[in-house]
Amino acid sequence: MAVVMKAKHQRLVLALVALAALIGAGLLAASALRDEAAYFYTPQDAKTKHIEPGKAIRLGGMVVKGSLKRAPDGVTINFDVTDNKAVVPATFNGIAPDLFKEGTGVVAEGSFNPQGTFVATNLLAKHDERYMPPELKGMKYDEKSRKLTANSSPVAQP
């Protein structure tokens, strides 16, 4: 049986092949960019990738609860940034955004000093995907089930 393709079927196959090739190219480009297009380094990255002191980077993670301390000069703050795998001490001299708090996300621009402390020149607060009214503030969020549950006995966060 001779396979005779109608012109429009030929065009359909051509269009689908082109589309598949395009999407494949896009995905390859995106995966190649995976590291380059990252907006910030996590504390874990900062430890494993040996970023030399003085190199301008962004460091992103959570501000460790209880680590935020104001220096005697009143404008310098010291805090620890974590991704639950590694902890990096950081310092910042200036005005932090309103949403910058302990236990929330932060993206700090700056560089490491030779002692391994991250010296931030600018702080950005990173908001997470949770939105809730103030009365639910004390509730516990489960990362796996993505459910909020009432938290009767407050557990210390790591």
Partner 1 sequence: MHAFANPTRFLSIARPLTPWLFWIGLALLIAGCVFGLILTPADYLQGETVRILYIHVPAAWLGMAGWSGIAIAAIMQLVWRHPLAAIAGRAVAAPGALFTAICLITGSIWGRPTWGTWWEWDGRMTSMLVLFFLYLGYIALANASAGNNGAGGVSRVAAIFGLVGAVNIPIINRSVVWWNSLHQGPSITLRGSTIDGSILWPLAFTLIGFSLWFAAIVLMRMRAILAETKVEARMQRLARG
Site membership for partner 1, residue 132 (CB under 8 A): yes
Strands 140-142 and 147-149, sheet pairing: antiparallel
Q: Which tokens in the block code for residue 36?
A: 């380059």
Neighbours of 58 (CB within 10 A): 15
Minimum Å distance from CB 153 to partner 1?
20
Among 44, 43, 27, 45, which Cα is nearest to 35's? 45
- Number of residues binding to partner 1, judged by CB under 8 A: 48
Instruction: Among 65, 67, 78, 126, indicate the residue that binds partner 1 (CB under 8 A).
Output: 126
Strands 105-112 and 87-93, sheet pairing: unpaired
User: What Rg value do the Cα atoms of the chain yield, rounded?
Assistant: 24
Among 81, 100, 78, 82, which Cα is nearest to 91's? 78
Site membership for partner 1, residue 100 (CB under 8 A): yes
Site membership for partner 1, residue 5 (CB under 8 A): no
Instruction: Among 32, 69, 99, 149, indicate the residue that binds partner 1 (CB under 8 A).
Output: 99
Q: Would you say 114 or 137 has its CB closer to partner 1?
A: 137
Instruction: Among 146, 153, 154, 158, indicate the residue that binds partner 1 (CB under 8 A).
Output: 146
Q: Under rule CB under 8 A, which residues in 9-68 are in contact with partner 1?
A: 11-12, 15, 18-19, 22-23, 25-27, 30-31, 33-34, 37-42, 60
Residues sharing a CB contact under 8 Å with residue 42, sequence separation 6 or more, in sequence order: 59, 60, 61, 83, 85, 86
User: Where along the sequence are the contacts to partner 1 (CB under 8 A)?
Assistant: 8, 11-12, 15, 18-19, 22-23, 25-27, 30-31, 33-34, 37-42, 60, 96-100, 104, 107, 123-137, 141, 146-148
